[in-house]
Structure 1
Amino acid sequence: MNILPHKSYHVYNLKNKERVRKDEEKAKQEEEARGERANIARAKQRQAVTGENKDEPPEETSNQNTDPIQNHINFWADLEKESLAVVSTNPEYEAEKRAKEKKWEKQFTMYLGDVVKEQRPWSKVEGSVSIYDPLLIMKSKLDTRSKKKNKVDTREKRDRSYNKGKESNSESSSPSSIEKLRSERLAREKKERLRVQKLLNPHMVNESEPTGRYHSQFNPNATKAAHELSEQSSSDRYNNRYRSRRYKPY
């Protein structure tokens, strides 16, 4: 039961459990005392009936089991009482028993009071003021940022110096490689100019090269002649129509 464990009326509270244990021990002692008084009374009654010596102390006869029904005499009653007294009053045994009970309770019971005692305020912790100081936190952040910036700047400077050295090495290379690169560039520019010129002036294309789309087809010459004939007939029709539409004064 973990409901309000720090309250005084909690069932499994240590104080309440100790109180219950003491009450049980007290009830047990009272029960033993009542039994002892009953035994003494029965012994006195038996002495009165049998006519035994009345001056004999009743403790000796009380050690025997004088139940008239059983008629049994217990010769070890004193030893049993001594053993019970030793067990009940042994402080080491009681301390060990309480320690075991407390250990067992801690495994299954949670007390809020113990948790509160274990916690300490942050101001009492050593070094907590310097850790949680906002000014110190901001200063550390700025220092970290400046370190990162300096690291980046040094890296950029190193890269620039490396690139400069690379460029100087390329400039100091052999003139033959430079001339080769220049000639390749000029050839590319010339090729690009020719391509643009062909696109803008298709009639200037060399006739020796295969033009058109029928050079790889079956019977390309016949196809080309048919196209030329169709183009000529279309031009003739256009000329005839144009001549027929010309103005005729007579």
Structure 2
Amino acid sequence: MNILPKKNWHVRTKKNIERVRRDEEQAAEEEKERQRRIALAESEARTDLLRQRAKHRQRDDDEEYEGDRQVVEFQARQHVNFFSDIEQGMKQKKVNEEHEKEKKEEKEKWEKSIGLLTYLGQSSVESKTTKPGIYRYSEPPKKKSKEEENMEEDMKRKHSLDPLHKMKEYVEKKKKHKHKDKHKVRQ
């Protein structure tokens, strides 16, 4: 007895399917309206920000023009000393940190390669990146990942099911068979 389609809560009744479709359409419309409002608010905010910057820049340009005239007049009366900040000890010698770091890494790499630099508890063989001779067998062989194994299996399967490959095998067998027959006839 199949009474499930008669239940009003059943998922596949026409009434419930129509209700779900309506709800999805309504949700899509609401999302579209929400995105439109967000875009509108962002564009208005951007426009306001640009207007404020333009007004602020206009005021700064006006003030800067007046200030430049005063600075030029003040400097014309004074002696120009380009090294005043160094004389006063304001500026300190700066080093290029990136360059120093690169030099340190290069030196460390060179020392490791010649065997000079080893860390505490580390043998000279362990410090080298490539292990000589017998030490390469101290590590277990690398296992293939599941993806590599699956790819190999797929390639084998494709190779075995390939009709061109089967035809080539057949042609080779036929050539060998003909070659054997010709060889037997000549003897």
* TM-score greater than 0.5 by the shorter chain: no
Higher normalized contact order (CA 8 Å, seq sep 6+, divided by chain length): 1
Question: Which structure has the larger Rg?
Answer: 1
